[in-house]
Amino acid sequence: MSEKIFDPKGVLKDVENKFEMFQILNENGEIVNEEYDPKLSDEDLVELMSRMVYTRILDQRSISLNRQGRLGFYAPTAGQEASQIASHYALEKDDWILPGYRDVPQIVWHGLPLWKAFLFSRGHFIGNQIPEGLNIVPPQIIIGAQYIQTAGVALGIKKRGGKNVAVTYTGDGGSSQGDFYEGINFAGAFKVPAIFFIQNNQYAISTPREIQTAAKTLAQKGIAAGIPCVQVDGMDPLAVYVATKDARERAVAGEGPTLIETVCYRYGPHTMSGDDPTRYRTPDIDNEWAKKDPLVRFRKYLEGKGLWSEEKETEVIEKAKSDIKEAIKKADEAPKQKVTDLISIMHEELPSNLKEQYEIYKAKELK
């Protein structure tokens, strides 16, 4: 028995001190945690790096297309490639992904055609029509809502005896929402196969992580829900991959959900809708995080193994650019959306009030 049975402060301290950031590959591209090296095949290492480079280009091009007025809503992803792409790399095709608005790369790598992702950005309903057979839910805009939906999807998987998992992502800000707590609590209580990510990119728009919550880590929030939880270096693709793979294996084995905090950084603005990051962070902070860049450390690691070169990187960049060019062209060919489309795609049979409105708009559109 512990010596002190009344020690609320000590209990908190004990719990918080348990959380150490899990890392395998350091900033210099060196393995620092041999025991957990997933020993991925050369093919996997190259594929993972290729996907991260491709995604960085997709981000750069999306920003520039947005500035040209050719895309609409866009939330930049640079800096979060390890968190997004390496977590996705540990999943299987039949796993369900319930993304937030910044998590478009994961659903693109899960099979969503790029031209549809561009239409999502434009607010076109076709962008939210996920092709049959893809286990993807359209990106959530309401902060945290995807957490409760994920608990529900995972419960469905469990009831059907599925061997897949439901995976979701929110941000550091999202982990302050009621939906966040409800989602992890429900998932824990029903022991459902879910993986919950908090991508702690340090800011919720302009609110820094330090004033978001009194909790020392965001991972520890899993403790109250009684679910396994871990804080991972979100700039380290190998650590993110291993944590995800482990969570997935336990979920599929019937051991329930896991909460993973990936400590990362968003290099760009919150969205392209007008916030100015220089108002809430300094170039020094930016520079500190640039040194941790997931692409830089993974490139060093792969170059050390003779698996990566400038030519290979150029090849990936050119492929990304040509795919993007083709996809934006295809997005441009989508029919202009009409009010009647928005009404009719929501209901198999229209309620009488909408039927009335449908007729009014139909008549207008025929003019």
Q: Which residue is closest to ligand TPP by CB?
A: 171
- Nearest distance in Å: CB 159, ligand TPP: 28
Contact pick of 99, 127, 174, 193 for ligand TPP (by CB under 6 A): 174
CB nearer to ligand TPP: give 135 or 199.
199
Q: Is 141 in the site for ligand TPP (CB under 6 A)?
A: yes
Give residues 264-283 in contact with ligand TPP (rule: CB under 6 A): 270
Q: Which tokens sit at 311? A: 């030519």
Dihedrals φ, ψ of 258, to 5°? -135, 145
* CA–CA distance, 169 with 83 (Å, rounded to integer): 10
- Binding of ligand TPP at residue 171 (CB under 6 A)? yes
Count how many Cα atoms sit within 13 Å of the Cα of residue 123 in the half-sphere of its side chain: 7
CA–CA dist 323, 125 (Å, integer): 22
Distance between the two ends of the chain, CA-based, in angstroms?
A: 81
Q: Is 201 in the site for ligand TPP (CB under 6 A)?
A: yes
Q: In the bound complex, what is the minimum distance in angstroms from residue 183's beta carbon to ligand TPP?
A: 13
Q: Is 279 a catalytic residue?
A: no
How many chain residues interact with ligand TPP (CB under 6 A)?
15
Gap between the Cα atoms of 207 and 144, Å rounded? 16
Among 36, 181, 280, 358, which one carries the catalytic annotation? Answer: 280
266 has catalytic annotation: yes
**Cβ-contact 196, 184 below 8 angstroms:** yes
Residue 290 found at the interface with ligand TPP (CB under 6 A): no
DSSP conformational letter for 29: S
Q: How far is the CB of 67 from ligand TPP (least distance, A)?
A: 20
Three-state DSSP class for residue 253: coil
Contact status: 234 vs ligand TPP (CB under 6 A) = no
Helix extents (H) in 167-236: 178-189, 221-225
**Cβ-Cβ contacts under 8 Å for 336 (sequence gap 6 or more):** none
Stretch that binds ligand TPP, among 111-119, 167-175, 188-196, 275-283 (CB under 6 A): 167-175
With CB under 6 A as the contact rule, the residue among 172, 233, 236, 323 that binds ligand TPP is 172
Alpha-carbon torsion (152, 155, 161, 165), positive or negative: positive
Q: Give the strand pairing for 229-233 and 207-208.
A: unpaired
Min dist CB 244 to ligand TPP, Å, is 18
270 among known catalytic residues: yes
Q: Which of 61, 270, 297, 299 is catalytic?
A: 270
Q: Which positions lie near ligand TPP, rule CB under 6 A? A: 102, 141-143, 170-174, 199, 201, 203-205, 270
